[in-house]
Amino acid sequence: MDLSPAAAKILALAIGYLFGSIPFGLLITRRAGTADLRSIGSGNIGATNVLRTGRKGLAAATLIGDMLKGTFAVLLARYLFGDDAAIAAGLGAFLGHILPLWLKFKGGKGVATYIGVLLGLWWPAALIFCAVWLAIAAITRYSSLAALIASAVIPPLLLWLQHLPLAALFAVLSAILWFKHRANIRRLMDGSEGKIGNKA
């Protein structure tokens, strides 16, 4: 497609946003006949809250869907417009997940989509994210803390490896992810954060 670099990035951002804003958690749980996900637990549309329904399969499906929408947006943009546009699509997918237009901009916290975007842009870093997440989650049983630490590792890692555009992107995504987890951070600090395996 013959577009200027700026136009390609804008279009890729829009494509990413549209993919990212698909609310897999809400669609999957609704299809399965559970209560409205937004009325359960934290009210979040992500996989962690889906797990609070007691349906592990639905939570796994939500996790995969929320990851792959980020990956697909990045790969599609790269195929159509190149690497710079793929980065823009990754930003769009992440923003679409946390601020979906059709849910009045009330989306998820972005962890799964963060991983999916990372997978599409540079898969070794996605494996490192998952390894850090698993280690912290196994030690502490706090999903939120695992996500916060893993997301804090990625930007300096990419910077150290000289992936400068990716480091800049994930510095922004990590900052947004931390902001979205501000209530979790408060609960972690006062000891009231729910652990993995708890339904509340």
Among the residues of the chain, which ranges form H helices? Answer: 5-20, 24-32, 47-51, 56-81, 83-98, 111-121, 123-140, 143-160, 164-180, 182-190
Range of the domain at 182: 5-190
Q: Is 117 inside a domain boundary?
A: yes
Q: What DSSP designation does 193 have?
A: P
Q: Is 197 inside a domain boundary?
A: no
Counting residues of the chain whose pLDDT is more than 90, the rounded percentage is 72
Q: Is 81 inside a domain boundary?
A: yes
Q: Is 195 inside a domain boundary?
A: no
pLDDT of residue 38: 73
Q: What DSSP designation does 195 have?
A: P
Q: Is 31 inside a domain boundary?
A: yes
pLDDT of residue 176: 98
Counting residues of the chain whose pLDDT is more than 70, the rounded percentage is 94
Q: Which two tokens stand for residue 68?
A: 């792959």
What is the band of 1 on the pLDDT scale with cuts at 50, 70, 90? low
Least confident of 25-34, 68-77, 184-193: 25-34
pTM of the model: 0.92
Kindly tell me if the per-residue pLDDT of 199 is higher than 60: no
Give the separation between CA 137 and CA 135, rounded to whole angstroms. Answer: 6
- Rama region for 104: left / alpha / beta (φ>0; ψ in -120 to 50; rest): left
pLDDT digits (tens, 9 = 90+) for 113-165: 999 999 999 999 999 999 999 999 999 999 999 999 999 999 999 999 999 99
The average pLDDT across 103-113 equals: 92
Q: Is 200 inside a domain boundary?
A: no
Q: Is 196 inside a domain boundary?
A: no
Give the separation between CA 173 and CA 9, rounded to whole angstroms. Answer: 17
**Residue 44 dihedral angles phi and psi, to the nearest 5°:** -75, 155
Q: Residue 76: what residue type? A: L
Summary mean pLDDT of the chain? 91
Q: Is 86 inside a domain boundary?
A: yes
pLDDT of residue 163: 96
What is the band of 39 on the pLDDT scale with cuts at 50, 70, 90? low
**Tally of structural domains, the chain:** 1
Q: What DSSP designation does 194 have?
A: P
List b or e across 11-48, with b for residues whose CB sees 16 or more CB atoms inside 10 angstroms. Answer: bbbebbbbbbbbbbbbebbeeeebeebbebbbebbbbb
pLDDT of residue 98: 95
Q: Which two tokens stand for residue 122?
A: 């540079």
The angle subtended at Cα 190 by Cα 130 and Cα 56, nearest 5°, is 40
